[in-house]
């Protein structure tokens, strides 16, 4: 997965035709929407953006039937602070790469499919440059006829730079698609981004209730952490406050997962003692351990340590006891990392820093005195 948060969220959400289809219906001209059979929309492999521009734009390629013929829809997501006046030329380069790739995959084809270029744009100023390629060609009024001999196309533009939240929320897209556009729209202003989450509370709850809700809300929270300039606990607690404790806990089972995490930490704390005990037992059984055996013991996983403990009394040789651990000596296997483990850690921190709940104290009744 890419390290760029904009690219990661864009690819995660809109590479799925379930979210891409409704988004494209809102972006494309009505005539094109009528001509495209969206039931045939499918993601095509490949990325065609120049490597040096990976940090500022991301792309997706889809195939679909357009008026019964094969067609391609190329979606480019522009997330940079300035407007690239040469974008039509770059798009032409990307389209040629797509056609060349198509020719390589279909050597018997007599024609190439049409490509519909779509640009999702967000910048400080909004789009203020040419959308037609021919506008980049240097000709005067007298020489306009020469344009018949140069490439001519216009890309579809969806500029969300100045679209307000109300309009985004009314778009006929999936709830996750609309929420992501909100995040993209306000990503440059973390204060505004977090302040507006409350207006998207129901959207967040609906995203969480979806079949893939846990993964989706984790992706949203990862994006908030990356672009929001907040620490992990702040991100978790901000989302939890917006959606409500019960909705949040249904996804993350906060207390249960925190307890699981604590148990995992306790097991890790016991690990050095377990290795030392096994080393002493192996020495009693087989004598002084060679360096290779100690390395294998150090490299063994939790499961392999349990296997060594079971075989220590029955195996006839040291190699039999150590088993597969001998194949990785000197290369301790790392446990797979959960890319969203920070959420559980943040929940643990938040729970541990909660002020103790005060028990209500009853005021002692005050004795009334009568005035004389």
Structure-derived torsion over alpha carbons of residues 8, 14, 19, 23, reported in degrees to the nearest 10 = 130
Last residue of a domain, one of 229, 251, 273: 251
Say whether both 149 and 234 belong to one domain: no
Say whether both 245 and 265 belong to one domain: no
Lowest mean pLDDT among 146-155, 234-243, 246-255: 246-255
pLDDT at position 368 is 45
pLDDT of 282 higher than 80: yes
Say whether both 25 and 143 belong to one domain: yes
Mean of pLDDT values over 206-227? 89
Say whether both 114 and 73 belong to one domain: yes
pLDDT band at 148 (very low <50, low <70, confident <90, very high): confident
Instruction: Identify each DSSP E strand in the chain by its residue range.
Output: 36-44, 57-66, 69-79, 114-122, 156-159
Last residue of a domain, one of 251, 273, 296: 251
Task: Decide which of 118 and 364 is more confident.
Answer: 118
Q: 172 in a domain, yes or no?
A: no
pLDDT at position 31 is 96
Structure-derived torsion over alpha carbons of residues 57, 158, 238, 216, reported in degrees to the nearest 10 = -70
- Could you write out the DSSP letters of every residue in 39-97? EEEEEE----S-GGGTTTEEEEEEEEEETTEEEEEEEEEEE-SS--TTHHHHHHHHHHH
pLDDT band at 333 (very low <50, low <70, confident <90, very high): very low
Task: Decide which of 333 and 14 is more confident.
Answer: 14
User: What pLDDT digit, counting tens, does each position of 159-171 carry?
Assistant: 999 999 999 999 9
| Residue 59, burial from CB neighbour count under 10 angstroms (0-12, 13-18, 19+) | buried
Question: Which of 165, 160, 156, 185 minimizes the C-alpha distance to 24?
Answer: 156
Q: How far apart are CA 258 and CA 128, in angstroms?
A: 50
Strand order in the sheet with 156-159: 36-44, 57-66, 69-79, 114-122, 156-159
Say whether both 150 and 203 belong to one domain: no
Say whether both 158 and 18 belong to one domain: yes
Task: Decide which of 340 and 254 is more confident.
Answer: 340
Say whether both 147 and 243 belong to one domain: no
Q: 361 in a domain, yes or no?
A: no
Say whether both 9 and 158 belong to one domain: yes
pLDDT band at 215 (very low <50, low <70, confident <90, very high): confident
pLDDT at position 326 is 56
pLDDT band at 369 (very low <50, low <70, confident <90, very high): very low
Q: 168 in a domain, yes or no?
A: no
Mean of pLDDT values over 112-136? 94
Say whether both 227 and 149 belong to one domain: no
* Three-state secondary structure call for residue 239: helix
Question: Which of 122, 108, 116 minimizes the C-alpha distance to 44?
Answer: 116
pLDDT of 141 higher than 90: no
User: What pLDDT digit, counting tens, does each position of 314-325 carry?
Assistant: 888 888 888 765
Q: 180 in a domain, yes or no?
A: no
Say whether both 260 and 245 belong to one domain: no
User: What pLDDT digit, counting tens, does each position of 16-69 carry?
Assistant: 999 999 999 999 999 999 999 999 999 998 888 877 655 567 899 999 999 999
pLDDT band at 257 (very low <50, low <70, confident <90, very high): low
Q: 359 in a domain, yes or no?
A: no
Q: What is the average pLDDT score of the chain?
A: 83
Say whether both 194 and 287 belong to one domain: no
Task: State how many domains the chain has.
Answer: 3
* Three-state secondary structure call for residue 196: helix
Q: 38 in a domain, yes or no?
A: yes
pLDDT of 339 higher than 80: no
pTM beyond 0.85: no
Q: 175 in a domain, yes or no?
A: no
Q: 210 in a domain, yes or no?
A: yes
pLDDT band at 256 (very low <50, low <70, confident <90, very high): low
pLDDT band at 220 (very low <50, low <70, confident <90, very high): very high
Range of the domain at 37: 5-162
pLDDT of 313 higher than 50: yes
Last residue of a domain, one of 226, 251, 276: 251
pLDDT of 291 higher than 90: no
Say whether both 111 and 222 belong to one domain: no
pLDDT of 219 higher than 80: yes
């Amino acid at each position: 997965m890419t390290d760029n948060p904009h690219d990661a969220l864009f690819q995660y959400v809109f590479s799925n035709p379930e979210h891409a289809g409704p988004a494209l219906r809102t972006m494309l001209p009505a005539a094109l929407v009528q001509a495209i059979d969206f039931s045939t929309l499918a993601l095509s492999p490949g990325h065609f953006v120049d490597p040096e521009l990976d940090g500022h734009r991301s792309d997706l390629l889809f195939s679909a039937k357009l008026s019964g013929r094969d067609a391609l829809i190329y979606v480019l997501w522009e997330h940079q602070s300035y407007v690239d006046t040469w974008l039509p030329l770059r798009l032409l380069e990307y389209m040629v790469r797509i056609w060349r790739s198509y020719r390589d995959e279909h050597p018997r084809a007599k024609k190439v499919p049409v490509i519909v270029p779509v640009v999702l744009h967000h910048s400080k100023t909004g789009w203020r440059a040419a959308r037609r390629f021919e506008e980049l060609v240097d000709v005067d009024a007298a020489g306009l006829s020469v344009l018949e001999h140069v490439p001519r196309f216009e890309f579809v533009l969806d500029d969300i730079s100045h679209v307000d939240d109300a309009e985004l929320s009314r778009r006929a897209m999936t709830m996750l698609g609309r929420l992501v556009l909100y995040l993209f729209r306000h990503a440059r202003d973390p204060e505004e981004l977090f302040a507006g989450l409350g207006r998207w509370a129901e959207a967040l709850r609906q995203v969480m209730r979806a079949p893939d809700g846990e993964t989706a809300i984790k992706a949203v929270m990862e994006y908030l952490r990356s672009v929001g300039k907040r620490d992990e606990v702040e991100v978790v607690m901000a989302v939890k406050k917006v959606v409500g404790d019960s909705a949040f806990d249904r996804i993350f089972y906060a207390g249960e997962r925190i307890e699981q995490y604590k148990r995992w930490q306790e097991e890790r704390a016991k690990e050095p003692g377990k290795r030392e005990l096994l080393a002493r037992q192996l020495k009693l059984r087989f004598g002084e351990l060679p360096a290779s055996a100690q390395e294998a013991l150090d490299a063994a996983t939790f499961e392999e340590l349990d296997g060594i403990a079971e075989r220590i009394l029955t195996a006839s040789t040291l190699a039999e006891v150590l088993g597969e651990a001998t194949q990785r000596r000197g290369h301790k296997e790392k446990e797979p990392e959960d890319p969203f483990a920070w959420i559980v850690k943040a929940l643990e921190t938040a729970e541990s820093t909660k002020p103790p709940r005060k028990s209500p104290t009853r005021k002692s009744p005050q004795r009334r005195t009568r005035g004389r």
